[in-house]
Amino acid sequence: MTFELSIEFFPPQSPEGMEKLRATRARLAVLKPEFFSVTYGAGGSTREPTLATVMEIAAEGHHAAPHLSCIGSTREGIREMLAIFKERGIRRIVALRGDLPSGMADAGEFRYASELVAFIRAETGDSFHIEVAAYPEWHPQAKSPREDLLNFKRKVDAGANSAITQYFYNADAYEHFVDEARALGVGIPIVPGIMPIASFSKLARFSDACGAEIPRWMRRKLESFGDDAESIRAFGLDVATELCQRLIERGAPGLHFYSMNLAGLTLEICRRLGR
């Protein structure tokens, strides 16, 4: 199967973590992804590690896309980051609102990602390809699915070029979301985010926090494996590969892997997909 591929990392906070990520990247590089993206802690909490990781990726000859979240930030702070990205040859940004870290009271000068997208366009014209987030199972704070969809459209109207979704295991939810977006006149690519399954407890924790559903049949099965990591891995690989296959067959414009800084599962899923 042919499909566009991107892979996400989080910025390591220690020299050992950076070293491990270099090894992970070297293994994933054989997949020739369109780009590697690197997350950004809300309020600029990972500014330096994100930048350092992005610059290493670029120096290795890959396209690198920093995420940039705006909650807790000032216009001046974002302007500064954009200038650094531009000066260092970055051409793609994943623009997000982010979540205010607990204990941080000042929400800053941006309320929503659409305001960040508009700001990036106003400040830098077409210098960057802007990616935004999409939520096929709806953002947990959304007032209603309709409001969330309209808010997604605001980001597109503000100048986003493409979108990456929160991960999901219900392909129907993704397909429904894309259909509804198209009906509203949204034409940009909406790339499904894929979360390989490494551990049930971690996945359950993430999913509760970000509003992604683990369907009952999967949850029951994963629970039944207990500490049997091999069975979780085998089942998770089958589920993720089948999901990817269906998405590509039905026209998804690509796949974005949440690698969690690990190579094995992403490599195996892509191998099974014939990449």
| Nearest C-alpha neighbor of 38 from the set 104, 103, 85 | 85
Contact 256, 3 (CB under 8 A): no
Q: Which stretch binds ligand FAD (CB under 6 A): 21-29, 74-82, 151-159, 236-244?
A: 151-159
Residues 162-181 that bind ligand FAD (CB under 6 A): 164, 166
Q: Which stretch binds ligand FAD (CB under 6 A): 82-90, 149-157, 196-204, 242-250?
A: 149-157
Closer by beta carbon to ligand FAD, 13 or else 224: 13
- The 197-236 contact track toward ligand FAD, x by CB under 6 A, reads ----------------------------------------
Asked if 137 touches ligand FAD (CB under 6 A), the answer is: no
Asked if 81 touches ligand FAD (CB under 6 A), the answer is: no
**Measured between alpha carbons, how far is residue 232 from residues 168, 187, 192, 194, 229 in Å?**
17, 37, 22, 16, 5
| Nearest C-alpha neighbor of 115 from the set 74, 87, 81 | 74
Intra-chain end-to-end CA distance of the chain, in Å: 7
Minimum Å gap between C-beta 253 and ligand FAD is 14
Contact 267, 204 (CB under 8 A): no
Minimum Å gap between C-beta 21 and ligand FAD is 15
DSSP 251: T
Residue 242 catalytic? no
Asked if 151 touches ligand FAD (CB under 6 A), the answer is: yes
Phi and psi, residue 125, nearest 5°: 55, -130
The single residue among 21, 28, 42, 181 that binds ligand FAD, judged by CB under 6 A, is 42
Minimum Å gap between C-beta 114 and ligand FAD is 5
- The 92-111 contact track toward ligand FAD, x by CB under 6 A, reads --x-xxxx------------
Asked if 193 touches ligand FAD (CB under 6 A), the answer is: yes
Contact 117, 155 (CB under 8 A): yes
The single residue among 5, 93, 120, 133 that binds ligand FAD, judged by CB under 6 A, is 133
Runs of H (alpha helix) within the chain = 15-28, 47-59, 75-87, 113-124, 145-157, 171-183, 200-210, 216-224, 229-249, 264-272
Alpha carbons 184 and 149: distance in angstroms, whole number: 9
Query: Which residues are designated catalytic?
Result: 8
Binding site for ligand FAD (CB under 6 A): 39-40, 42, 67, 69, 94, 96-99, 112-114, 133, 139, 141-142, 147-148, 151, 154-155, 164, 166, 193
